[in-house]
Amino acid sequence: MLILDSLKTKNPVEKFGKDLALWINPRLSSKTFNNNSISQINDLSDNGKNAVQGTATNQPTYTPGGYAGLPYLNFTSANSQRLIASNIKVGGIQTLVFFGSRTNSGKIFGGCSWNVYGWQVYCTDSLIVIQVCKSGANSTVQVSASIPQTEIHLAVVVDNTNLKTKFYLYGKKVGNDQSYSWAYAENSAVSAGIFSQTDASGYVNGKLYNYYLVNRELTPSEIAQDYYEWSKYRIL
């Protein structure tokens, strides 16, 4: 069992158990290197949904010391860099929690084989945007927020039962719940990109320190506690 060594607290495996769909952390995850690039980073959940990229030019790079001296993965959009964790079941209610940074309109989560099923989220300087995909079309919802091009803590909830989304930035809820137009297919096995898959908005520029996906809605107090622990103790 993984134990975070910075604080006596529960890690995502211990907190969420079977509800944890995916957990990627460049410090804790096992990695496969291609020189300074990453061709695979292993899932820390019990599901073994390792994120991979076989094309060398599309592989993100690994940097050993960033925020608080922690390692991160760096994605460059000009090189179409992304990692894909395949065959993750979607549907019901899911919460994504992310710590990292982005440049320009960088994607944080590509939750679908684009124009098929699922959802994805990205940020601009002034918006957090979720697109829900179904059969070649997408429904877009967004909230206004000031998004710096530095490290951020972001959490989003996608409720595919009630067609609602919620947004949290730095542990606090942003805006009102937003409704989208249709439910995507429940339990469709899709690819979950660690950052992005290709679409009209392009690939991401940004850094990834920690990323996990939970198959239930995290409560506001759980999200606030998650941010508090990382900001105070830097447990990533």
Task: Please determine, for residue 4, whether its predicted confidence score (pLDDT) is greater than 50.
Answer: no
- Token pair, residue 183, equals 């439910």
For residues 215 and 185, which has the higher predicted lDDT (pLDDT)? 215
Domain ranges (residues) in the chain: 12-233
Q: Specify the amino acid at residue 234.
A: R
Report which of residues 203 and 229 the model is more confident about: 229
| pLDDT at position 199 over 60 | no
- Taking alpha carbons only, the member of 128, 136, 78 closest to residue 108 is 128
Structure confidence at residue 197 (pLDDT):
45
Q: What is the pLDDT of residue 188?
A: 62
φ, ψ for residue 3, nearest 5 deg: -125, 125
Residues 115 and 197 sit within 8 Å (Cβ to Cβ): no
205 versus 176: which is more confidently predicted? Answer: 176
- pLDDT confidence tier of residue 205, bands split at 50, 70 and 90: confident
Backbone angles phi, psi at 140, to 5 degrees: -110, 130
What SS3 class is residue 217?
A: coil
* Amino acid, res. 62: Y
Q: What is the mean pLDDT of residues 114-122?
A: 67
Q: In percent, how much of the chain has pLDDT > 90? A: 40
Distance, CA of 209 to CA of 67 (rounded, Å): 9
C-alpha of 230 from chain center: 16
Strand (E) or helix (H) holding 222:
helix 220-233
- The arithmetic mean of pLDDT across residues 80-109, rounded, is 77
Average pLDDT (214-224) is 94
pLDDT of residue 75: 86
> Residue 216 has what pLDDT?
93
Residue type at 71 in one-letter notation: P
pLDDT for the residue 190: 64
Give residue 125's pLDDT: 80
Average per-residue pLDDT in the chain? 81
Residue 194 in contact with residue 51, Cβ under 8 Å?
A: yes
Confirm or reject CATH 2.60.120.680 for domain 12-233, answering yes or no: no
Is the CB of residue 33 less than 8 Å from the CB of residue 221? no
Tens digit of each residue's pLDDT (9 = 90 or more) over 97-114 = 988 887 765 555 555 544
With CA atoms as reference, report the closest residue to 192 among 125, 110, 92, 82. Answer: 110
